[in-house]
């Protein structure tokens, strides 16, 4: 399985099993975290799109560390993928590897048009 770092149009590893895990996780969203907050996994590739209504926001890089532990379907971690997040209030393209020791890595100098999966934190 390969993970593409560059903005190549697919933004993720590929394969039937990866896709099936993402589909199933998106069906059980929203997912509630231990602290009571929740997030939605959309299984949709898109460029960076801020939520103008501020109802659902991109997670911060710090929140992605917590969320990455829940990117599982029946105990199976999702394949590595690109996710849009924010760092210090600015867009950040992040490589997320659920189930790994270091699950979150910021990709340097991303274009806002790069495609990545959507995870949105639901405001309480």
Note the pLDDT tens digit of each residue in 39-48. 888 888 888 8
The pLDDT of residue 105 is: 93
Mark the ranges of the chain whose per-residue pLDDT is less than 70: 1-16, 51-56, 109-110, 123-124
In Å, how far are 3, 41, 114, 122 from 95, measured between CA atoms? 9, 15, 12, 21
Q: What is the CA radius of gyration of the chain?
A: 13
Please choose, from the candidates 98, 103, 102, 11, the residue with its C-alpha nearest in 3D space to the C-alpha of residue 48: 11
How high does pLDDT run on average in the chain? 78
What is the pLDDT at residue 53?
57
| Run of H or E residues at 39 | strand 38-46
């Amino acid at each position: 399985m390969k993970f593409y770092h560059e903005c190549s149009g697919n933004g993720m590893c590929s394969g039937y099993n990866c896709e099936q895990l993402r589909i199933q996780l998106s069906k059980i969203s929203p997912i509630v975290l231990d602290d009571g907050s929740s997030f939605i996994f959309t299984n949709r590739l898109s460029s960076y799109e801020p939520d103008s209504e501020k109802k659902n926001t991109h997670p911060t890089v710090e929140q992605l560390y917590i969320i990455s532990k829940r990117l599982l379907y029946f105990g199976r971690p999702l394949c590595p993928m690109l996710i849009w997040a924010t760092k210090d209030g600015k867009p950040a393209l992040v490589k997320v590897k659920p189930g790994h020791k270091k699950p979150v890595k910021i990709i340097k100098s991303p274009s806002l048009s790069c495609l990545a999966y959507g995870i949105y934190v639901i405001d309480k």
